Amino acid sequence: MITGASGYIGSWAVKDFLEKGYTVRACIRDKNNPDKVQHLLDLANETPGTLELWEADLLKEGSFDAAANGSAAIIHMASPFTLRFKDAQKDLINPALQGTKNVLNAANRSGTVKKVILTSSIVAVFGDNLEMKEKGLSEFTEDQFNTSSTLTHQPYAYSKVLAEKEAWKMAETQDQWKLVVMNPGFVMGPVLSQASDSESLQFMKDMLGGKYRTGGADLYFGFVDVRDAAKAHRLALENDQAQGRYILCSETKGFMDVAEIIRKKYGKQFKLPGMKTPTFLLYFMGWMFGLSLKYVYRNIGRPIKLNNSKSIQNLGITYIPFDKTIEDMVEKMISLKMI
């Protein structure tokens, strides 16, 4: 059973499992919406696995029970990833936290689920880049938990850490299923559905569309290819030794590194940022890009390092190079006329 199966990462997870011959119960909100399901049906026709479509709602208690009953494992990917929201509690916290409770309660009631792979995020490990310095770390590992995010500062990150901690709490109260958590960095790469509304795609649309043409922030992320993020869930499911959390990250790069990769391949085709915006300017202009003064201070100009060795050694991941991730993403968006 895969929740959020029509999403950006979820679609690739469905593809990966189907290619390996699994029977996949894809949970989506509306299985009659062709924009959300047609690409999944196409994947099923091209692969040896079997696809089943099930309707479920993160906020509806018991709506995952039917799909969980008879499933051997659950891949829980459904959770809002958006920086465009009106009410953080309603739009981010409630779906992430209540959705996790509903899915894990379905696992408890199923009598058949033996393993749950939860898609958390690197932002459940840390909320602000400054935390690495504040905690005296040379790198972030799976041992850290985000302690800086709140409902008013980095609410998306706050929703992810709340949901993950709740999952670990619930896992400890039962002995039917084992919990393994994926903590992917900023997920990028080609999309499988033109209807995807992922924040990753919006980031790339803004980059290519000229939103940052006057300058890019000196901001650093840990990136991972969407194909690797999806594959990691299957590897964790199939590996009996998989346990705990896994940071999924190919490379740590800056905002301007993304622009340079695109410029190298496409030249002047897109209105890319040509220089870094001086950090001091963002204290005055950051609000134009939705950046608070606190965010600028705690993140801009502060490099980070993520330790991905556990995912490589324990899951056997060979990460797709970052350049290829970005190039494949742009090529796909061009082919689908998304830009």
Model pLDDT, residue 82? 59
Task: Measure the CA–CA gap between 129 and 143, rounded to whole angstroms.
Answer: 16
Task: Measure the CA–CA gap between 100 and 164, rounded to whole angstroms.
Answer: 8
Q: How many domains does the chain have?
A: 1
Integer CA distances (angstroms), 197 to 57, 145, 332, in order:
18, 28, 15
Beta bridge partners of 247: 183
- pLDDT tens digits, residue range 72-95? 999 999 876 656 677 889 888 998
Model pLDDT, residue 281? 82
Q: 15, 36, 160, 231: which is the annotated catalytic residue? A: 160
**What token pair was written down for 181?**
């958590």
State the number of CA atoms in the 13 A half-sphere of 224 facing the CB.
28
Model pLDDT, residue 35? 87
Model pLDDT, residue 61? 93
Read off the pTM: 0.95
Is residue 25 within 8 Å of residue 55, measured between CB atoms? no
> Would you give the DSSP letter of residue 174?
-
**Which CATH number goes with the domain that contains 284?**
3.40.50.720
Burial (CB < 10 A; 0-12, 13-18, 19+), residue 332, is middle
Model pLDDT, residue 88? 86
Burial (CB < 10 A; 0-12, 13-18, 19+), residue 233, is buried
Task: Measure the CA–CA gap between 237 and 64, rounded to whole angstroms.
Answer: 20
Is residue 250 within 8 Å of residue 224, measured between CB atoms? yes
Task: Measure the CA–CA gap between 247 and 182, rounded to whole angstroms.
Answer: 6
Task: Measure the CA–CA gap between 192 and 140, rounded to whole angstroms.
Answer: 31
Is 101 in the active site? no
> What are residue 17's phi and psi, to 5 degrees?
-65, -40
CB-based contacts of 63, cutoff 8 Å, min separation 6: 55, 56, 57, 102
Which residue carries 């040896």 as its tokens? 48
pLDDT in tens, the chain (339 residues): 999 999 999 999 999 999 999 999 999 999 988 888 999 999 999 999 999 999 999 999 999 999 999 999 999 998 766 566 778 898 889 989 999 999 999 999 999 999 999 999 999 999 999 999 999 999 999 999 999 999 999 999 999 999 999 999 999 999 999 999 999 999 999 999 887 778 899 999 999 998 888 888 899 999 999 999 999 999 999 999 999 999 999 999 999 999 999 999 999 999 999 888 878 787 777 666 677 889 999 999 999 999 999 999 999 999 999 999 999 999 999 999 888
Task: Measure the CA–CA gap between 322 and 251, rounded to whole angstroms.
Answer: 7
State the number of CA atoms in the 13 A half-sphere of 336 facing the CB.
17
Sheet of 178-184: strands edge to edge?
A: 50-55, 23-28, 2-3, 73-76, 115-119, 178-184, 244-248
Model pLDDT, residue 287? 64
CB-based contacts of 185, cutoff 8 Å, min separation 6: 122, 221, 222, 223, 224, 247, 248, 249, 250, 252, 306
Pick from 22, 15, 250, 24: nearest CA to 122: 250
Model pLDDT, residue 284? 74
Task: Tell me whether strands 244-248 and 178-184 are parallel, antiparallel or unpaired.
Answer: parallel
Domain hosting 159: range is: 2-335
CA 295 to chain centre: 21
